[in-house]
Structure 1
Amino acid sequence: MAAHRIWIKNPLALFTANDQEAPGGLVIEDGVITELLAAGATPTLPVDETFDAREHVVLPGLINTHHHFYQTLTRAWGPVVNEPLFNWLLTLYPVWARLTPQALQLASKVALAELLLSGCTTAADHHYLFPGGLEDAIDIQVEAVRELGMRAMLTRGSMNLSKENGGLPCKNVVQDAETILADSERLIDRYHERGDGAQIQIALAPCSPFSVTTDIMRACAEMAEARDVRLHTHLAETLDEQEFCAKRFGMRTVDYLQSVGWLGPRTWLAHGIHFNQVEIHRLGAAGVGICHCPSSNMRLASGICHTLELEDKGAIIGLGV
């Protein structure tokens, strides 16, 4: 099949990842930018389509590095609008336990459409909720991503530490370790794409220190290393979490991260607010990624991520909605 070439012509402004100037626009061939044009220049090869961009600004697609698509359905629910994180979660877990495949499909499409309308073309979603009947949650998300034409890092989240065993989630939203790890292997085998043009990738994402066991954290780290995929979790989002780690594990969050084999460049963390200066240095030296989620942090009044200090020490900083 012949290549399809589009000329995005003479934009009002054009921003590239490496600050190259291209006032004449750019040429896209089968979804790949193949040429940046100076003012007055024309494409070196004939094009099939021309888009007059003189009233448009062209910029790279934004990347959202942390999301929960399913929570789109409950983000404005009255009973939790003024609750701190732990109370918010405890109130919502029984609601989320009733999530159906159809509801997840709808939530995923709404979340992806909102992102696209904001200029976001790549998103990482952290899905850790697998109540009975929703075992194929990530498969549903893959279908939604492909239908809307985005790119996504879909994380196979997990919770196996229920409230009865000292965790936070209710019993009907957790899974056993064998189920979690078997499904993680299945998803990597079926969907993880590599190299240029990859649309779907899979990462492993135990939900948080207060909802999974240390065994799951270690097993996911070992699988990620063996299968060459990434690791993701929430960390240091609230002071309650620091207190939980100190009480349950006898250590602070970054020490816990190191103890389970997660302190390295394969890992990126959501929120990352309550780190001290020594921990910021350790995270940067290890090349850990941090997703700063300002709207969520303001919503919970949980604090502000030290993005500049973390980046200065070597951490990779991203943004999440």
Structure 2
Amino acid sequence: MDTTRREIKEGALFIRDGVIEAVGTLNEMPQQTADEVLDLSNYVVLPGLVNTHHHMYQSLTRVLAQDNELFDWLVTLYPIWSRLTGEMVYVSAKLAMAELILSGCTTSSDHLYIFPNDVTLDDEIRAAQEIGIRFHAARGSMSLGESKGGLPPDSVVEDEAAILQDTRRVIEQYHDANRHAMLRIVVAPCSPFSVTRDLMREAAELARSYGVSLHTH
């Protein structure tokens, strides 16, 4: 199948440096010697699916409070999530990515907005680089805890200055703006009811200044 959804019998792909350069019949492929040839006879090849929103850290707790409505579900799980470590988030993200790839998804975003203990966005980025998925890592944030009228407990929110500082760090360290980049960073305050108006504005300004995407619920 190609970009026009044309079904190609006995088709072939030509890939150079991770980029698909040609789709068509075998005779239509560039007359070059390939470093590697894969025989995919009796297989169907179609464009990779794209997942635009995910919370991969939740893979480890997805069987809990399944029948609760959203806010009750969050209130139930926040105390559990507050005990997450970087290694747990790494394992949970790698599990989620493996499931996506096995389902035909080759590109995924993930909105990580909870950073208890030693958790950083680097944990998910490490998982993505090891498993080989194209990844848009969304550096989420929450700054309004219960003491300030927010929904999450204070133990899982961050200081706004620290949020912006770490968001700059991961953009400068990891973001790849090239067309076929395997890793990009997204600025992603969690929601209008879990951050202040000031943080939402500053996040938008930060994203604009670096030329990266902005994402929220």
> Could you say whether these structures have the same fold, taking a TM-score greater than 0.5 normalized by the shorter chain as the test?
yes
Amino acid at match of 1:84: E
Q: Mean alpha-carbon deviation: is it higher for 55-64 or for 39-48?
A: 39-48
Give CA deviations for 1:239-280 in whole Å, capped at 9, x if unaligned. xxxxxxxxxxxxxxxxxxxxxxxxxxxxxxxxxxxxxxxxxx
Give CA deviations for 1:63-91 in whole Å, capped at 9, x if unaligned. 000001100000001xx121110111011
Give CA deviations for 1:116-150 in whole Å, capped at 9, x if unaligned. 1001111000000011322xx21111111000011
| Aligned-residue CA RMSD (Å) | 1.5
Q: Which residue of 2 aligns with 1:172?
A: 155
Q: Which residue of 1 aligns with 2:85?
A: 100
**Bigger Cα Rg:** 1
Q: Which residue of 2 aligns with 1:151?
A: 134
2:48 matches 1:61: yes
2:92 matches 1:123: no
* Aligned-residue identity in percent: 47
2:98 matches 1:113: yes
Residue 101 of structure 1 and its aligned partner are, at CA, apart by 1.1
With over 3 angstroms needed to count, the CA separation of the structure-2 counterparts of 1:26 and 1:127, relative to structure 1, is: same
2:114 matches 1:132: no
2:124 matches 1:141: yes
Q: Is the 8 A contact 2:49 2:106 kept in 1?
A: yes
Q: Is the 8 A contact 2:110 2:138 kept in 1?
A: yes
2:193 matches 1:207: no
2:5 matches 1:19: yes
Q: Is the 8 A contact 2:23 2:29 kept in 1?
A: no
Q: Mean alpha-carbon deviation: is it higher for 20-29 or for 175-184?
A: 20-29
2:74 matches 1:89: yes
Amino acid at match of 1:193: D
CA distance in 2, matches of 1:53, 1:184: 42
With over 3 angstroms needed to count, the CA separation of the structure-2 counterparts of 1:42 and 1:208, relative to structure 1, is: closer
Residue 18 of structure 1 and its aligned partner are, at CA, apart by 3.4
Amino acid at match of 2:50: I
Q: Which residue of 2 aligns with 1:160?
A: 143
Q: TM-score, normalised by structure 2?
A: 0.94
CA distance in 1, matches of 2:109, 2:24: 32
With over 3 angstroms needed to count, the CA separation of the structure-2 counterparts of 1:42 and 1:140, relative to structure 1, is: closer
Gaps of 5+ in 1: 1-14, 235-321
Structure number with the bigger relative contact order (C-alpha 8 A, sep ≥ 6) is 2
Q: Is the 8 A contact 1:160 1:213 kept in 2?
A: yes
Q: Which residue of 1 aligns with 2:22?
A: 35
1:223 to 181, 206, 211: 206
Number of residue pairs aligned between Structure 1 and Structure 2 = 216
2:171 matches 1:188: yes
